[in-house]
Amino acid sequence: MKRILCSALALVLALSLCACGESGGDTGPTYPAAFAGLEDQIDAAREEGRLTVCVSGEEPFLTAACEKFEELFDISVTVRTAEPDALPNSSGTDVWYGGDEALCRTLSESGGLMAYTPEAASALIDPGYGHEDYCVISTDALGIMVNSDVLARMGISAPRTWDDLLEPVYRELVWLPAYDTAEGRLFVRAMMEYFGDDAADYLTQLDTSVQFYTTGTDTAAKCLSTGECVIGIGWLSTGLTAQRNSGSSAIAMWAPAAEGVPGQVQTTAIFADAPHPNAAKLWQEFALSPQCMELMEDNGCSRFPTVWDGQETMPDIDPAQLKLYGVETEETSAAVDEVIAAVMETLAENGVDTEDAARWHVA
C-alpha cells in the first residue's frame, strides 16, 4: 500500500513540476527600462548579429561599452582602434565611438555619416548635444581649478575669469600647462581669440602669476588635493578625478563661460556605409543610455556625460559656450608659434630664466 501511495505522490509531483514549467513559458531576453519600446529595433539588430565599432583611443570605458553592448543584446562586437586625433578608416565599420567632434564634423560635412536621431537623444541634458548624424556623449572644458581651503586660509577669493589671473594677489600661485603641450597650445589659441592682438601681452603679464608650467595633463589637479597647487589651469575632468580619488571637498572648478570655454567633446556616430545598419542604430540608443554612460565613471573616466542621473556633480558647462578647436592647421600652428615666441622673447628680455626646467617643465 505504501509503495502505491509513494508512486502516486511521485506522479503528482512530476505532473505539478511540468505544469509549472509550462505556465512560466519562455519569456525571451529582457532589457533595461531604457530600451522599452525598442523591441522591433532590437530584433532587427539581433538578426544582423554583428557590429564593428571603431573607438578613438584606448580609454578603458570605450572597450567596456563594447563588452556591455555585446552582453546586453547578444550581438557579436568587433572593436577597432583609431588614433584620437585622426579620422578613422570606415571600411567595413559600423560606428565610430569616442571621436573628437571637430573630426566628426569634418566627416559629416563630406557625407561620411548616416543620419539618425536616437530616441535616447531626448534625454540629453542639453539639445545642443544632438546633431542630425552624430551625438555628443561627453564634454570637457579647459578651466580654472582651485584649492578653496588654501585660498580661504590666505584670505583670497578665487579667480573667476582669465583677466582675474593677472591680479597681484595671485602672484606665483598659478600652475599653467607648458606651451609645448597640447593643453598649453590650446590655452594660447583661446587667449588669441579672446584677447586678439593683445594675447602675447596677456600671456607675458600672466607669467608673474605662474608658479609652474606643467607637462602632465593632470599634474596641477593631482597637486590641488595636497595643497601644493593652489590654482591650476587644465581640463576640469582632471580636477573631478582628483576630487574623487582624494575625497577632498576643497577642490572647486569652473569654466569662465562669459569668455567662451575652450572645450573638447566625444561623439558617437554611424558610418554612411555601415554593413550592419540596424545594429548600428541600436548602438546609438545604447551609447546614450544610463547603462553606457555609467561606464565612464566606473572605468576611471571623469569627462562629463551628456546623459546621466549624476550630472549634478558636473560643473555647469553650457554647450553653446564651448569653443571647440579643430586640429591645428599649418596656418594656425604658425600663428600659435609666433605668439609663444613673442612671449618667450619678451620674458627673456625682462630677465626671466625661460630655460629653467624646474619651473617650465614640471611633470
Q: What is the pLDDT of residues 246-290, one digit of tens each?
A: 888 899 988 886 666 788 889 999 999 999 999 999 999 999 998
- What separation in angstroms does the CA of 275 have from each of 3, 75, 89, 107, 322? 65, 14, 14, 18, 34
Residue 24: inside a domain: no
Q: Total domain count for the chain?
A: 2
pLDDT above 80: residue 9: no
Residue 190: inside a domain: yes
Residue 241 has what pLDDT?
A: 87
Residue 111 has what pLDDT?
A: 95
Supply the range of the domain harboring residue 116: 38-139+264-313
Q: Is 280 exposed, middle or buried (0-12, 13-18, 19+ CB in 10 A)?
A: buried
Same domain, 150 and 246: yes
pLDDT above 90: residue 42: yes
Beta bridge partners of 108: none
Residue 318 has what pLDDT?
A: 63
pLDDT in tens, 69-118: 999 999 999 999 998 878 888 999 999 999 988 889 889 999 999 999 99
Give this prediction's pTM.
0.77
pLDDT above 90: residue 307: no
Average pLDDT score, the chain? 87
pLDDT in tens, 113-168: 999 999 999 988 888 889 999 999 988 889 999 999 999 999 999 999 999 999 99
Residue 249: inside a domain: yes
State the Cα–Cα distance between residues 305 and 301, nearest whole angstrom: 10
Q: In three state form, how does the secondary structure of the chain look?
A: CHHHHHHHHHHHHHHHHHHHHHHHCCCCCCCCHHHCCCHHHHHHHHHHCEEEEEEECCCHHHHHHHHHHHHHHCCEEEEEEECCCCCCCCCCCCEEEEEEHHHHHHHHHCCCECCCCCHHHHHCCCHHHECCCEEEEEEEEEEEEEEHHHHHHHCCCCCCCCHHHHCHHHCCCEEEECCCCHHHHHHHHHHHHHHHHHHHHHHHHHHHHEEEEECCCCHHHHHHCCCCCCEEEEEHHHHHHHHHHHCCCCEEEECCHHHCEEEEEEEEEEECCCCCHHHHHHHHHHHCCHHHHHHHHHCCCCCEECCCCCHHHCCCCCCCCEEECCCCCHHHHHHHHHHHHHHHHHHHHCCCCCCCHHHHCEC
Residue 19 has what pLDDT?
A: 39
CB 40 within 8 A of CB 244: no
CB 48 within 8 A of CB 276: yes
Residue 20: inside a domain: no
Same domain, 322 and 348: yes
Residue 13 has what pLDDT?
A: 33
Same domain, 159 and 214: yes
Residue 15 has what pLDDT?
A: 35
CATH number at residue 97: 3.40.190.10
- φ, ψ of residue 29 in degrees (nearest 5): -70, 150
pLDDT above 60: residue 316: no
Same domain, 307 and 345: no
Same domain, 217 and 248: yes
CB 137 within 8 A of CB 305: yes
pLDDT in tens, 220-255: 999 998 999 999 999 998 998 888 888 888 999 888
206-219 mean pLDDT? 95
Angle, CA 193 vertex, CA 333 and CA 320 arms, to 5°: 115
- Quick one: pLDDT band at residue 7, thresholds 50, 70, 90? very low
Residue 21: inside a domain: no
Same domain, 135 and 147: no
Instruction: Count CB neighbours of 167 within 10 A.
Output: 12
Q: Highest mean pLDDT range out of 147-151, 300-304, 307-311?
A: 147-151
Same domain, 193 and 129: no
Same domain, 134 and 150: no
- Of 313, 331, 347, the residue at which a domain comes to its end is 313
pLDDT above 50: residue 6: no
pLDDT in tens, 19-41: 333 334 445 678 888 899 999 99
Residue 343 has what pLDDT?
A: 98
pLDDT above 50: residue 191: yes
Same domain, 234 and 271: no
